[in-house]
Amino acid sequence: MIKLTRLKNLSIGIAVLIITSCNSNSNSKPISENPFEAQVDSILGLMTLEEKLEQLNLPSSGDITTGTTQSSDVAKRIEEGKVGGLFNIKTASKIREVQKVAVEKSRLGIPLIFGMDVIHGYKSTFPIPLGLSTSWNMDMIEKTARVAATEASADGISWTFSPMVDISRDPRWGRVSEGNGEDPYLAGEIAKAMVHGYQGDDLSANNTLMACVKHFALYGASEAGRDYNNVDMSRIRMYNEYLPPYKAAIDAGVGSVMASFNEIDGIPATGNKWLLTDLLRDDWGFDGFVVTDYTAIFEMIEHGVGDKYEVSELAIEAGVDMDMAGDSPSIPAAFIKTLQQSVENGKVSISTIDTAVKRILTAKYQLGLFDDPYKYGNEERAKTEVFTKENRDFARQVATESMVLLKNENQVLPIKKSGTIALIGPLAKAANNMAGTWSVATDQDKSISVFDGLTEVIGDEANLLYAKGSNLDYDLELENRATMFGKAIPRDGRTDQQLLDEALQIAAKSDVIVATLGESAEFSGESSSRTNLDIPQVQKDLLNALLKTGKPVVLVLFTGRPLVLVEENENVPAILNVWFPGSEAGLAISDVLFGAVNPSGKLTMTFPRAVGQVPMHYNHKNTGRPLQNSEGKFEKYRTNYIDERNEPLYPFGFGLSYTTFDYSNLTIDKSSISMDGEISVSVDVANTGNYDGKEVVQLYIRDLVGSVTRPVKELKGFQKIMLKKGETKTVRFKITVDDLKFYTSSLDFISEPGDFEVFVGTNSDTNLKLRFKLVK
Ligand code: BGC
Ligand 1 pocket (Cβ < 6 Å) reads: 66-67, 117, 161, 214, 293-294, 526
- pLDDT tens digits, residue range 330-345? 888 889 999 999 999 9
Mutation to probe ligand 1, out of 168, 218, 293, 524 (largest number of atoms < 8 A from CB) = 293
Catalytic choice (166, 170, 183, 293):
293
Query: Which range has the worst mean pLDDT, 9-23, 399-413, 578-592, 632-646?
Result: 9-23
Give the separation between CA 215 and CA 221, rounded to whole angstroms: 11
Q: Is the confidence at residue 298, as pLDDT, over 70?
A: yes
Q: Is the confidence at residue 3, as pLDDT, over 50?
A: no
Among the listed residues 639, 637, 758, 744, the one whose alpha carbon sits nearest the alpha carbon of residue 702: 758
Work out which ligand 1 atom sits closest to the CA atom of 261: 8
Using pLDDT thresholds of 50, 70 and 90, give the confidence band for residue 709.
very high
The pLDDT, as a whole number, for residue 611 is: 98
Distance between Cα 439 and ligand 1 center (Å): 12
pTM for this structure? 0.95
The pLDDT, as a whole number, for residue 664 is: 98
Residue ID of nearest Cα to ligand 1 atom 10 = 161
Q: Is the confidence at residue 69, as pLDDT, over 80?
A: no
Query: Which range has the worst mean pLDDT, 61-75, 530-544, 570-584, 609-623?
Result: 61-75
Distance between Cα 294 and ligand 1 center (Å): 6
- Average pLDDT of the segment spanning 488-500: 95
Q: Is the confidence at residue 24, as pLDDT, over 70?
A: no
The pLDDT, as a whole number, for residue 329 is: 83
Give the separation between CA 163 and CA 143, rounded to whole angstroms: 14
Q: Is the confidence at residue 553, as pLDDT, over 90?
A: yes
Q: What is the mean pLDDT of the chain?
A: 94
Contact 7, 42 (CB under 8 A): yes
The pLDDT, as a whole number, for residue 68 is: 57
Which residue type occupies 738?
A: D
The pLDDT, as a whole number, for residue 358 is: 98
Q: Is the confidence at residue 381, as pLDDT, over 50?
A: yes
Mutation to probe ligand 1, out of 161, 229, 527 (largest number of atoms < 8 A from CB) = 161
Query: Which range has the worst mean pLDDT, 397-411, 478-492, 506-520?
Result: 478-492
Mutation to probe ligand 1, out of 526, 527, 528, 529 (largest number of atoms < 8 A from CB) = 526
Give the separation between CA 420 and CA 428, rounded to whole angstroms: 16
Distance between Cα 295 and ligand 1 center (Å): 10
Mutation to probe ligand 1, out of 65, 70, 117, 260 (largest number of atoms < 8 A from CB) = 117
Bridge partners, residue 267, by sequence:
264
Which residue type occupies 144?
A: T
Using pLDDT thresholds of 50, 70 and 90, give the confidence band for residue 66.
low
- Average pLDDT of the segment spanning 513-524: 98
Contact 713, 619 (CB under 8 A): yes
Work out which ligand 1 atom sits closest to the CA atom of 178: 9
Contact 659, 688 (CB under 8 A): yes
Among the listed residues 661, 663, 665, the one whose alpha carbon sits nearest the alpha carbon of residue 692: 661
Largest CA distance in the chain: 86
- Average pLDDT of the segment spanning 280-294: 98
What are the residues whose beta carbons fall under 8 Å from the beta carbon of 153, sequence distance 6 or more? 206, 207, 208, 209, 376
- pLDDT tens digits, residue range 634-681? 999 999 999 999 999 999 999 999 999 999 999 999 999 999 999 999
Distance between Cα 267 and ligand 1 center (Å): 20
The pLDDT, as a whole number, for residue 644 is: 98
Q: Is the confidence at residue 32, as pLDDT, over 60?
A: no
Give the separation between CA 661 and CA 768, rounded to whole angstroms: 14
Distance between Cα 292 and ligand 1 center (Å): 9
Residue ID of nearest Cα to ligand 1 atom 12 = 66
The pLDDT, as a whole number, for residue 26 is: 35
Using pLDDT thresholds of 50, 70 and 90, give the confidence band for residue 419.
very high
Long-range contacts of 65-68 (CB under 8 A, 24+ apart): 65/485, 66/117, 66/294, 66/440, 66/526, 67/294, 67/295, 67/325, 68/294, 68/295
Using pLDDT thresholds of 50, 70 and 90, give the confidence band for residue 67.
low
Q: Give every strand in the sheet of 113-116, ordered side by side.
A: 85-87, 113-116, 159-160
Q: Is the confidence at residue 1, as pLDDT, over 70?
A: no
Distance between Cα 66 and ligand 1 center (Å): 6
CA atoms within 13 A on the CB side of 102: 26
The pLDDT, as a whole number, for residue 25 is: 34
Q: How far apart are the first and last CA of the chain?
A: 64
Question: Hey, which bits of 57-126 come out as E strands?
Answer: 57-58, 85-87, 113-116
- Average pLDDT of the segment spanning 218-236: 98
Among the listed residues 168, 132, 169, 129, the one whose alpha carbon sits nearest the alpha carbon of residue 648: 169
Contact 724, 688 (CB under 8 A): no
125: DSSP letter:
B
Question: Hey, which bits of 439-552 come out as E strands?
Answer: 463-467, 512-518
Give the separation between CA 553 and CA 572, rounded to whole angstroms: 6
Q: b/e map of 222-234 (b: 16 or more CB within 10 Å)?
A: beebbbbbebeee
The pLDDT, as a whole number, for residue 643 is: 98
Secondary structure (3-state) at 25: coil
Give the separation between CA 461 and CA 455, rounded to whole angstroms: 10
Secondary structure (3-state) at 198: helix
Contact 387, 124 (CB under 8 A): yes
The pLDDT, as a whole number, for residue 78 is: 84
Query: Which range has the worst mean pLDDT, 158-172, 318-332, 460-474?
Result: 318-332
- pLDDT tens digits, residue range 693-704? 999 999 999 999
The pLDDT, as a whole number, for residue 72 is: 53
Which residue type occupies 43?
A: I
Give the separation between CA 756 and CA 11, rounded to whole angstroms: 58
- Average pLDDT of the segment spanning 21-41: 60
Contact 711, 676 (CB under 8 A): no
- pLDDT tens digits, residue range 98-122? 999 999 999 999 999 999 999 999 9
The pLDDT, as a whole number, for residue 332 is: 84
Which position has the higher pLDDT, 74 or 649?
A: 649
- For this structure, is 293 an active site residue? yes
Q: Is the confidence at residue 31, as pLDDT, over 80?
A: no
Secondary structure (3-state) at 161: coil
Q: Is the confidence at residue 6, as pLDDT, over 90?
A: no
Pairing state between β 512-518 and 769-775: unpaired
Q: Is the confidence at residue 64, as pLDDT, over 80?
A: no
Query: Which range has the worst mean pLDDT, 485-489, 520-524, 573-577?
Result: 485-489
Distance between Cα 486 and ligand 1 center (Å): 18
Work out which ligand 1 atom sits closest to the CA atom of 64: 12
Q: Is the confidence at residue 37, as pLDDT, over 50?
A: yes
